[in-house]
Structure 1
Amino acid sequence: MNIPRTFIIAVIVVASSTVLAQEPYDEEPINYSDKSVDNPIARLQEQVDEGKQSLEFDENHGYLKSVLKALEISPESQVLVYSKSSFQLQQISPRRPRALYFNDDSYIGWVQRGDVIEVMTTDPIRGEVFYTLEQQPEAKPKFVRDQGQCTVCHASSRTQRVPGGLVRSMFVMSSGMPHYGAGTFNTDQTSPLSERWGGWYVTGTHGEMRHMGNVYSNDRYKPENLDREAGANVTDLSEMFQVDKYVTPHSDIVALMVLEHQLQMQNYLTLASHESRRSAHHDQVMNKALERPANYVSETTTRRVQSAADKVVKHMLMVDEAPLTATIAGTSRFAEEFQAKGIKDSQGRSLRDLDLKTRLFKYPCSYMIYSKTFDKLPLDMQATIAKRLREVLAGEDTSGDFDHLTSADRKAISEILQETKPDLWKLGQ
């Protein structure tokens, strides 16, 4: 792999410092570094090892197409980033952007001429787990789990300090190198479009709204001076690079927006999982030491669970979502495929229904409430989230945080959840 020696040394030093510091997620009861068997990649590897699944290698994309098919990830989810901000950075440039593909629980990174396929996949208890797959033909290829280098960036304040994913927006030169001194933006649903997608290609229309994608920042003294107009409402990337080298010619704006929401939502769910499990574990230890009843729950645990639950509910109900002032439309079939996967109520409504006129979702409550991570949250955390949801949707919350939800929104979300997530709804009673 052609990576500068100084870069490798820096990563090793930082990673070593991280290991020595013993991050909380690597201790009991999370034990992040232990073998993860409950994730899509672990299950796929088991199938490959047993000869029940094969991964086909082709000269143009290596294992990419086969991995996407095995994980049921649509090529239509493709988004493209040209900033040199990942570990195969030497192979990335505006002429050879890195491609990302995703579904609800797995994320695949592919780089032209790259040595490996990069994988991030969800363990419902531990959070995101990282693997690589060598781009060499093998009878039984092996996904190799990362030993700590990825969490240097992927377990920080940007990811709620749990192993997770993130989207960053940067001021990027025509070489693909970011102007790090100009700062970066951590992008999620609360980010105004004006701060999104620096270093990313973006295909789709968005009216008079402007973003940072599709253009370069070549003024080193004033890197924020971007020709945003040149990057606006782009529907064809063929003049920027060889799109036929990729499985689709798109870097769909709707896919980018969904990805940003999903990654941070997953981070909050992982935080809720960790906080609930760690606080309960602490109570178990202290209850034994202090000879308290085994089921005693401390005030500290109650506060930690409530705090994490509040964060989940706020992100889930799209608090502080940046409003859209023009209609968004992508260029691929991503939006159509994404909505088709929705769990519908008796009126045909789904939390995957998109709005794309004034906000991302028609019914502003995250579809990640159906995720395996959510379903595997400890019961006390699920009950706390459910109670909070019912309070907000019933209009009993007076904080003002949820004023963006109209009475029609609250009614629709309540009805959808009662039908499609009845056990959770009952927990909140």
Structure 2
Amino acid sequence: MTKPVMILGLLLLFFTLLVKAEEPLVAPKPTEPLKQIDFKDPIPFGLPPVEYGLGEHSDPASRLEQALAARTLKLNYDAQWGYLRDVLKALQIPESSQLMVFSKTALNPRIINPENPRVVYFNDDVYVGWVPGAKKMEFASVDPLKGTIFYELAVKASKEPHLVRSERCLACHGGDSSLRIPGLLVRSFLTDRHGRPISGYSQISHDKPLEKRWGGWYVTGTHADMTHLGNLFNRDAIEAAKTNPALRANLKHIDQFFDTAKYLNPHSDLVAHLILDHQVHGHNLITRASMEQQLGLRSDVEQQLVRYLLFLDEAELTGPLHGTTDYQAWFEKSGKRDASGRSLKDFDLQTKLFRYRLSYLIYTDSFNKMPSAARHRILQNVYSFLTASLAELEQSWDVDPDAFPVQERQAILQIVSETLEDLPEFWTVSK
């Protein structure tokens, strides 16, 4: 047995044994009722039928590796960028999604710092990490049933480059902050001048107020009077920001901090940040709901997912907010549209992230290929909210009816009815 396989086996065994000692480590049969657990309980994702790390995968990075192995795709090596540009093109990830993080909270901490930040590129299903001077690129790719799959690609010229599964990532990407499943992380940590974390938050989502986000990240874009923790490093600057919260805010350029010529572009777009913050936690909730159904378990994750998909606890924005690249235009163009031209990817960026508050994540494979029973329940609850009376919104959902007007809910109903495949029969729209 090879060393990587042994390490993966030990990791899977470790996470499997995290379930309560008195519970049998056997996945229930399909006919057995779902077993109630707490949302904070670990998920034994090494067990059948999930069997994380084993079997076939259908996530974007796995498909990329399959194409490389079959020699139906070739990656060209560049002396400056390695395989970066070709990888982004193959995975259909825009260069404008580039986000820069300088906190030492990921792989390659020895070379990541405010003068040499790590960059992350992403689309709806896959994330790519790259650092100038690193020996490997990193991939986090969402498989519909097995969660986030991690890969690495050596940054050196090769006739046959290949993505290699990474087992070490689960040490961080399988804990509390990723909901105890193989998931994704977005953190916000203020750092010293070397990028070493000082204080912050281990889990960021669209529910977190902006003033707590983006510690350890560069941010380019304007956000009116709103504040955030981006662009701040060094204890002196952090201390100065306490009396001047607008310090290093509303920046359109960050080349005063480091040499941006080392990167594909000199931006870390604010709008892309907002999408990453929403998307990562959403993916983790979907994966957790899917795995619980597969393993015959049930917590309140589905209720949390429904509220999250509907942005019911979203932190208020006080825009206008603007990025510094064409990322916003790319993102909106990629959305599915109804006959009236409306899309769940239409931005608001004034008081909320989106004009129509139901997450575009309902179009992803991770949502649509989850066990049908779980998908059906989630869509049923979303539909119940969208068709609820004003009294029901207030009493059953703890939502101010004025904050989610009926016109918006009706628009969402129509958009979904025209754009979502395999729509349940109960999803009807009043004429």
Q: What TM-score results when the alignment is normalised by the length of structure 2? A: 0.86
CA contact (8 A) 1:84 1:176 kept: yes
Distance in 2, Cα, partners of 1:380 & 1:402: 27
Residues 36 and 130 (structure 1), Cα distance of their counterparts in 2 relative to 1, 3 Å cut: farther
1:158 to 170, 177, 183: 177
Q: Give structure 2 stretches of 5+ with no counterpart.
A: 1-6, 19-42
Aligned to 1:272: 289
2:246 is aligned with 1:229: yes
Note the C-alpha offset of 1:115. Answer: 0.8
CA distance in 2, matches of 1:83, 1:354: 29
What is aligned with 1:249? 266
Give, in angstroms, the shift of residue 308 of structure 1: 2.9
1:130-158 CA distance string (max 9 Å, x none):
011011111111111012x2112112221
The percentage of counterpart residues that share the same residue type is 36
In the alignment, what sits opposite 1:374?
367
What's the counterpart of residue 423 of structure 2? 424
Distance 2:269 2:404 in 1: 27
Query: Could you tell me how far 1:36 is from its partner in structure 2?
Result: 4.1
Which residues in structure 2 correspond to 1:239-318 (within 5 Å)? 239-279=256-296, 304=298, 307-318=300-311
Selected match of 1:364 from 357, 365, 374: 357
Residues 212 and 231, structure 1, Cα contact 8 Å, conserved in 2: no
CA deviations on 1:264-283 (whole Å, 9 max, x unpaired) are 1111110111011111xxxx
The C-alpha deviation readout for 1:171-215, integer Å capped at 9, x for no partner, is: 211111111xx3424211011111000000000000011100001
SS at structure 2 position matched to 1:424: coil
Contact 2:179/2:288 (8 A) holds in 1: yes
Match of 2:127 in 1: 107
Q: Equivalent residue for 2:222? A: 205
Question: 1:216-259 deviations in whole A, cap 9, x for unaligned?
Answer: 14169979848542220000111111111111111000001001
Task: Give the superposition deviation at 1:419.
Answer: 1.3
- 3-state DSSP class of the match of 2:150? strand
Assess, with a 3 A threshold, how the Cα gap between structure 1 residues 17 and 276 changes in structure 2: closer, same or farther.
closer
Q: Which amino acid aligns with 1:113?
A: G
SS in 2 for 1:138: coil
Cα distance in 2 for partners of 1:337, 1:88 equals: 30
Q: Do 1:118 and 1:131's aligned partners in 2 also have CA atoms closer than 8 Å? A: yes
Deviation at 1:73, TM superposition (A): 0.7
Equivalent residues in 2 for 1:11-410, closer than 5 Å: 18=14, 21=17, 24-147=44-167, 149-179=168-198, 182-218=199-235, 225=242, 228-279=245-296, 304=298, 307-396=300-389, 397=392, 398-403=395-400, 404-410=403-409
Equivalent in the alignment of 1:291: none
Q: Distance in 2 between matches of 1:220 and 1:336?
A: 34
Change (3 A) 1:390 1:20: closer
Q: Is the 8 A contact 1:116 1:135 kept in 2?
A: yes
Could you tell me which residue of structure 1 aligns to residue 29 of structure 2?
Answer: none
Q: C-alpha distance in 1, partners of 2:237/2:46?
A: 40
Please give the alpha-carbon distance, in whole angstroms, between the structure 2 residues aligned to 1:204 and 1:167. Answer: 19
Q: Does the 8 Å CA contact 1:203/1:237 hold for their aligned counterparts?
A: yes
* Partners of 1:401 and 1:269 in 2: CA distance: 22
Q: Quote the Cα distance in structure 1 between the aligned partners of 2:169 and 2:287.
A: 17
Residue-by-residue CA offset, 1:101-156 (whole Å, 9 max, x unaligned): 00111100000100100100011101100011011111111111012x21121122
Aligned length: 391
